[in-house]
Amino acid sequence: MSSAKKHEHYNCADIEALAQRYVDGQLNDYENRLFEEHLEYCLPCDKKIQFELKLKEIVHIKGREMIPDEKLKLKLKNLFTDLL
């Protein structure tokens, strides 16, 4: 019926659900604002999104080399865990 979310804050489940669209730049301004607002006070989500952004960046750069996604993800995750 009515939208569950009006003028609210996103919770971690929302962030998880919207993460891919955020990374791909597909959220509208309002969603984007709520999303980033959550990241400001939620460190786990912030780290997750930073990771996703970094991953996208690297996949973009390395795209031509056709590196298997899961392998790269794992490699990057290990690298990233060390940095954090």
Q: Which residues bind Zn ion (CB under 5 A)?
A: 12, 42, 45
DSSP letter string over 18-63? HHHHHHTT-S-HHHHHHHHHHHHH-HHHHHHHHHHHHHHHHHHHHG
| Least distance from Zn ion to the Cβ atom of residue 58, Å | 23
| Nearest alpha-carbon partner for 36 in 59, 44, 45 | 45
**Closer by beta carbon to Zn ion, 36 or else 58:** 36
**Closer by beta carbon to Zn ion, 19 or else 72:** 19
| Least distance from Zn ion to the Cβ atom of residue 37, Å | 11
**Closer by beta carbon to Zn ion, 43 or else 74:** 43
| Least distance from Zn ion to the Cβ atom of residue 14, Å | 8
